[in-house]
Amino acid sequence: MVTERSYVEDPYAKEGTGKAVKVEFTDLVVDRTVFVPTGDGQPNDRGDVIIDGKKYVIVDAWNDGESIHLMSLDTYPTDIIGKEVKQLIDWNVRYLHMRFRTALYIMQGIAYKDYSANCRINQTYDDSAWIDVYLDNLTEDTVNEILAKARSIVEASLDISSRFTSREEFQASAELMAFTKGKVPDFE
């Protein structure tokens, strides 16, 4: 069962509902979720789900390639398949992660645009984030230039938007193909 990822449509949604489709001890799969799973350097959302009036604390969310699993500290009842699952994310944690990720994307964009440097990896935590940018002869001055430019972009309070491109549009863009070193993402 592929879990519909409502957080992609609306990253500012603080709650949502889905139906329980699989349960095993502390592991719950729903048909639709607002919980972002751990992946690509981003930590999972945390929060609560409510099933039949009982609250379960979600401490982990992970993606098995198709389904998003909501992990609780408590064991779920076995008779909840098909029941509505109200989902409430910890908005403070989500928003903090969003801010860190945006800062990383800004720095990554500056490094690429100004220095043709690609990001090798990045990681976000609850209290910090880091990025590994591949650049020959990286100096402290270059790092400070990237940080200063990023700071000025953040301080400008620009609107942030996102959009999805088709595989064809992605492949037709020389800039996107260069940015990903010729690798087309394998997801739609």
Kindly report the backbone phi and psi dihedral angles of residue 171, in degrees, each rounded to the nearest multiple of 5, phi listed first: -70, -25
For residue 69, give the H/E element and its range: strand 68-72
Contact 68, 62 (CB under 8 A): yes
Q: What is the DSSP letter of 42?
A: B
* pLDDT class of 166 with cuts at 50, 70, 90: confident
CA distance 131 to 80: 41
CATH number of 4-89: 2.40.30.130
- Tens of pLDDT, residues 75-133: 999 999 999 999 999 999 999 999 999 999 999 999 999 998 988 889 999 999 999 98
CATH number of 94-179: 3.30.980
CA distance 81 to 1: 13
- Tens of pLDDT, residues 44-84: 999 999 999 999 999 999 999 999 999 999 999 999 999 99
Contact 97, 81 (CB under 8 A): no
* pLDDT class of 1 with cuts at 50, 70, 90: confident
* pLDDT class of 187 with cuts at 50, 70, 90: low
All structural domains of the chain with their residue ranges: 4-89, 94-179
For residue 3, give the H/E element and its range: none
Contact 52, 83 (CB under 8 A): yes
Please report where in the chains the tokens 């790092």 appear, as a residue.
143
Q: How distant is the alpha carbon of residue 6 from its chain centre?
A: 12
Contact 70, 88 (CB under 8 A): no
For residue 186, give the H/E element and its range: none
For residue 178, give the H/E element and its range: helix 174-179
Whether pTM > 0.95 for this model: the answer is: no
CA distance 135 to 109: 13
